[in-house]
Structure 1
Amino acid sequence: MINLNGELLEEKNANLSVYNRGFTYGDSVFETIRVINGKIMFWEDHYFRLMSSMRIMRMEIPPSFSPEFLEEEIKALVSANNLSSSPARVRFSVYRKEGGYYTPTTREVGYVTTCSLLENAFYLFNEEPYEIELFKNHYINSGILSTIKSNNRAINTLGSIFASENAYNNCLLLNEKKNVVEALNGNIFLVKDNIIKTPPLNDGALNGIIRKQLLSIIKKLPEFALEEISISPFELQKADELFITNIAVGIQPVSKYRKKIFDSKTSKTLLSKLNVKARLG
């Protein structure tokens, strides 16, 4: 079942127009959300990021889009797909209603929500080899548009094809200043000695939900110093650890970048604390 503008429909009946602006212009934003046994993980953060993304895209936020209303919409869809007692992955997409060319004729929005079964309720530590490389064919522009989750994901798509063609598990993306910004599907963290670094949002890094959770966790750990600072590609091979974060996997440790093999002690520690926070939150 799919939720299309508040109506629960079977997938074959949930149709969007070919003139939908999310398709024709990428005029759409979305959230990927974990729902565990009917409970939305980090819902407040998802909600406020969605509202912020809509404002940045100059979309008109409907009066009905309260946290309570959208939460019930998500839970109703999960229930309709018989996933209320299972871990589920939900994608909540908001698009500007059709009309116009580059200049829209309206700022009103529609929405579509899908969900699927997740394998595990909480985040598991992945000890399988995980090799990454830089993707240098195209660059992310530093600035506020790069921090939101929109349908404009050409660089991520091309980078994913490059990774697949060259047998890498993931790639890191650079901005126009040649600084490391993020991975293809999440934020990047670097550990060197007792310092944990991650690129700042003004470098073009996605304002990730798990990124935000980890920043909060790390700040409370006296054994680590946290820096939101630009990261040069030259720092990567000098690091003790690299790990990638997103809502789907939590923390993904990187085992290899070029000739460097990384430890994963810090990412394992942080993953256990993230699971605790998810259970409590």
Structure 2
Amino acid sequence: MVNFNGDLLPDSNHFLNHKNRGLQFGDALSERIRYSGSVLLFWESHYFRLMASMRQLRMEIPMEFTLEYLEEEILKTLNASGRAKAPCEINITVFRKSGEDFLPPSLGISYVISFTPLESAEFPLDTPGLVADLFKDYYLQADGLAQLPHQMKLPWVLAAIYADENDFDTCLLVNHRKEIALGLHGNLFLRTGQDIKTPPLADGCSDEILRKFLLKQDWKETPYQLQEAHISPFELQQADELFMLNISSGISSITQYRKAKYTREAATFVLNMINGYIREQT
């Protein structure tokens, strides 16, 4: 079951066509939200990120697109699918209405709400860890668009193909200044000793919800200190730990990059911090 502009349709329904601007131009955004079975986790943060992204892309936001309206539409979709009491990942995709030229005939939007069942609202401990390489065939342009959840993902697709062809589990992507931007499995966190750092938004990483959550935490009473700072490819092999983070898969630990091998202490600590918050909300 999917929700297309408020109408509930079966998954098999063909409600999009060749004129869709998301397909033609990547003129679309997608926000993924974790649902515990009773609560939309980080919902306000997701909503305001989606609204800010739509404004930045000059999309016309419908008057009814309030936080309450979208929450009701999500729950309507889950209820109709029999998933209202089960953990899910919700995906809200927003795209500008059809038009075959670069200049759209209207700035108005359509939306699709879909979901994927989850075993648990909490994130699992990733095992056994990932072997990574640096993807250097194409660079990310570290500008304001890089931070948005847009659909223009060719560098990620090509990096995933590169990893598969060369027997790696994941790749790290670099920006046009040859700084680390992020990884295929989310924003990158690098630990050296007790210091953890993650690239700033200006380096082309994603302005993602769990990244925001960690940066807002008080780290003074923890074993670690977190900061935003540039990460050079040369630092990777000197680090003690590398892990990636996103709302879909949670923590993805890198256990090997070239000749370097890494531990997973901070990744486990961060995972417990996030799962502890989820337990409090549900």
TM-score per shorter chain, which class?
Answer: over 0.9
For 1:88 and 1:124, the matched residues in 2 are separated by: 14
1:220-235 correspondence to structure 2 within 5 Å = 220-235=220-235
Is 1:101 matched with 2:101? yes
Q: Identify the range of structure 1 (76-85 vs 171-180) with the bigger mean alpha-carbon deviation.
A: 76-85
Q: Partners in 1 of 2:8 and 2:105 — Cα distance?
A: 27
Distance 1:34 1:129 in 2: 23
Check 1:83–1:170 CA distance in 2 against 1; reply closer, same or farther (3 A cut).
Answer: same
Decide whether the 8 Å contact of 1:172 with 1:180 is kept in 2: yes
The aligned counterpart of 1:191 is 191
Residue in structure 2 matched with residue 118 of structure 1 by the alignment = 118
Query: Structure 2 CA distance, aligned partners of 1:220 and 1:103?
Result: 50
Q: Which residue of 1 aligns with 2:209?
A: 209
Q: Residues 1-281 of structure 1 correspond to what in structure 2 (within 5 A)?
A: 1-217=1-217, 219-281=219-281
Asked whether the equivalents of residues 4 and 14 of structure 1 are also in contact (C-alpha less than 8 Å), the reply is no
Compare 183-192 and 119-128 and name the one that shifted more.
119-128
SS at structure 2 position matched to 1:40: coil
Residue identity matched to 2:125: F
CA deviation profile, 1:21-62 (whole Å, cap 9, x unmatched): 111111000101111113111111110110111011110111
Contact 1:219–1:225 (CA under 8 A) maintained in structure 2: yes
Letter in 2 for 1:230: H
In 2: Cα distance, 1:106 partner to 1:207 partner: 27
Distance in 2 between residues matched to 1:242 and 1:217, nearest whole Å: 20
TM-superposition CA deviations, 1:222-258 (whole Å, max 9, x none): 5322221110000011111111001112111111111
Gaps of 5+ in 1: none
Look up the equivalent residue of 2:258 and give its one-letter code. Answer: R
- Contact in 2 for aligned 1:196/1:226 (Cα 8 Å): yes
SS of 2:217 mapped into structure 1: helix
Whether the 8 Å contact between 1:93 and 1:112 is mirrored in structure 2 is: yes
Judge conservation of contact 1:197–1:227 (CA < 8 Å) in 2: yes
Q: CA deviation at 1:118?
A: 1.3
Moved more, 213-222 or 130-139: 213-222
SS class of match (1:189): strand
Query: In structure 1, the residue corresponding to 2:92 is in which secondary structure?
Result: strand
Structure 2: 5+ residue stretches without partners? none
Q: Tell me the amino acid that sits aligned with residue 8 of structure 1.
A: L
Distance 1:216 1:252 in 2: 21
Residue 217 of structure 1 aligns to which amino acid in structure 2? Q
Task: Count the aligned residue pairs.
Answer: 281
The runs of at least 4 aligned residues of structure 1 exceeding 3 Å deviation read 218-223
- Mark the CA change 1:267 to 1:17 in structure 2 (over 3 Å): closer, same or farther: same
Q: Look up the SS of the partner of 2:23 in the other structure.
A: helix
In the TM superposition, what whole-angstrom CA distance separates every residue of 1:185-235 from its partner, at most 9, and x where no partner exists? 310000001111000001111101111112223645453222211100000
Q: Deviations along 1:62-99, whole A, 9 cap, x unmatched?
A: 11110010011111112222222221111100000112
Aligned residue type for 1:3? N
Q: TM-score, normalised by structure 1?
A: 0.96
Structure-2 separation of matches of 1:58 and 1:221: 42
2:35 and 2:159 map into 1 onto residues whose CA distance is 28
Instruction: Give the TM-score normalised by the residue count of structure 2.
Output: 0.96
What's the secondary structure of 1:11's corresponding residue?
A: coil
For residues 130-162 of structure 1, what are the alpha-carbon distances to aligned partners after superposition, in whole Å with 9 as ceiling and x for unaligned?
A: 111111100110111000011100111111111
Superposition deviation, residue 110 in structure 1:
0.4
Amino acid across the alignment from 1:12: S
Q: Hey, what's the Cα distance between the residues in 2 that align with 1:236 and 1:218?
A: 26
